A = this chain, B = another copy of it.
């Protein structure tokens, strides 16, 4: 496989030549275009790119870019177990958690697809037993609450997915174990959660791949202290999710342990035991398996070389067009679904931690912009907040909308002739058109310049399968962008310096007088 810097490609030169023509979104956004510009994503979802400023000319060169950089070929190499994470010398195997699409991946004699499937079965059975009241707490009481202790990818993804399915599960009557999350090293976080649950009825899921995460270990000991104070044996109330080489593995201090390995990156671990244990406990293993099936469907579609049939690839390429040639340094994620309230925070990690890089996969500085700042909040809430800048600010922010035809609970009210779900969707449709077309006005303050590009992901209802496809779509989008930019999207060296300095501060010898001065005003010690 050949890896080439983005600006060395022929497509880069061609795209640079194209980007000076300003688009007229008023003529661009025809009803025919809206109806025709949709790609199937899996999980019952569709990706609509009608309100993006790309036409045949741009799409042709974007296709040429995909071909020249062999983006789907690189994806296949990843699936087959190539060392894609060059910085850490690791395979990248989160797709394999959802099913096999390439060759069997063997490492040190172990079939990893089989290993992941076995772990899935192990924690599915465990979750069933807990949910059936066959595994109980130290006092013999049923578990009614699950609390995940983890940070970063062990928190944001699983939390976003849990919130996304809570209402769905109520409606489906799957029976819910309520989930909470402790992530921050701020002791107020752990203290608040622990004091809000009934410890006798609480199962903790301790998640750290390395078993050495500072925040997670501190919170584990915080929780253990509280359990012991109540005379509850911690080994009856904590399960571990970790790698087999970690100090947490095969440890009788835990009720049970479920394993991942180094080929599952933190921000890509939601479909492993990292997300799977808590989601299976909360909603039942069947719901989690449906999520995996939705993700697998999206992963499969991402193999198609034709960009108009591959939503993740097309989304990635349009993002590159906007980032490198239109110069937009950010992207807003706007789900019209309260269930997805924390999904933007997960995508923020996924995107910014993967492609927020300034060197290529060989460690040489790149000469072009890479990952954008990603942020967002659910609509309609955002409309009453930061949408002002999106509509009438001095800069253009590309927008990623999401919406569903039906609500999750189906519990609605008719006011002024429409149900709330219809109002939600009417707002969504109206925003897309308002951003694209704008409005002329003789009063400058009431004028909308328009030309704000957006895409829309939509589907019938936010189910586990739809959620899995949504998750995988963005994982694959970010992966394709990383390939096009010739980055290693799967390491995170940017976290190391702060970690090292923190240790020095806590050891009392920072070696930096300015750092000591900050430590002094914050009274660290």
A267 to chain B, nearest CB (A): 8
What residues of chain B lie closer than 8 Å to A405, measured between beta carbons? 522-523
A429-447 with Cβ < 8 A to chain B: 429-434, 436-439, 443-447
User: In this assembly, does A44 line the interface, its C-beta being within 8 Å of a C-beta of chain B?
Assistant: no
How far is it, in angstroms, between the C-alpha of A433 and the C-alpha of B521 when the chains are bound?
A: 14
Contact between A329 and B395, CB atoms less than 8 A apart: yes
A selection of 8 A-B contacts at a CB cut-off of 8 Å is: A31-B514, A266-B384, A356-B392, A358-B392, A384-B495, A387-B495, A392-B494, A431-B498
Distance of A103 from chain B, by nearest CB (Å): 28
Is the CB–CB distance between B420 and A222 below 8 Å? yes
Chain B residues, CB < 8 A from A46 = 521
A493 within 8 Å of B by Cβ?
A: yes
Establish whether residues B356 and A386, one from each chain, have CB atoms under 8 Å apart when the complex forms.
Answer: yes
Tell me the chain A residues, 401-433 only, with Cβ under 8 Å from chain B. Answer: 403, 405, 407-409, 411-413, 415-433
Stretch among A54-62, A178-186, A243-251, A276-284 lining the B interface? A178-186
A contact patch SS: helix
Query: Smallest Cβ distance from A42 to chain B, in angstroms?
Result: 17
Query: Within the complex, which residue of B190, B395, B422, B448 is in contact with A506, where a contact is CB–CB below 8 Å?
Result: B422
- Tell me the minimal C-beta distance from A164 to chain B in angstroms: 11
A394 contacts which chain B residues (CB < 8 A)?
Answer: 357-358, 366, 368-370
B residues less than 8 Å from A486 (CB atoms):
none
How far, in whole Å, are A365 and B393 apart by their CA atoms in the complex? 11
Q: How far is the CB of A143 from chain B (nearest CB, A)?
A: 20
B413 and A218 form a contact (CB under 8 A)? yes
Contacts of A374 in B (CB 8 A): 386
Q: Does A102 contact B (CB under 8 A)?
A: no
- A19 in the interface (beta carbon within 8 A): no
Q: A393-B356, A498-B430 are in contact. Are A34 and B521 (CB under 8 A)?
A: yes
Measured in the bound complex, the distance between the Cα atoms of B506 and A416 in whole Å is 9
Give every chain B residue within 8 A of A416 (Cβ-Cβ). 506
Chain A window 371-390, contacts with chain B (Cβ cutoff 8 Å), 1 for yes, 0 for no: 10111011111011111111
A155–B110 Cα gap in the complex (Å)? 52
Contact A187 B524, CB 8 Å, known A365-B444, A389-B353, A393-B357:
no
Q: A338 touching B188 by the CB < 8 A rule?
A: yes
B-binding segment of A63-71, A344-352, A467-475: A344-352
A285 interface residue per 8 A CB criterion = no
Q: Which of B192, B225, B338, B448 contacts A497 (CB 8 A)?
A: B448
| Pairs of residues from A and B, 4 with the lowest C-beta to C-beta distance, nearest first | A356-B389, A152-B384, A430-B501, A375-B375
Which residue among A166, A339, A420, A428 has the maximum number of chain B CB atoms within 10 Å of its CB?
Answer: A420
Tell me the complex Cα distance, A365–B449, Å. Answer: 11
Q: Which of B166, B329, B359 contacts A329 (CB 8 A)?
A: B329
Chain B residues lying within 8 Å of A400, measured Cβ to Cβ, are: none
Most buried by B among A377, A433, A501, A518: A518
**Interface pair B501/A434, CB less than 8 Å apart:** yes
A497 touches B426 (CB 8 A): no
A378 to B184, CA, bound (A): 8
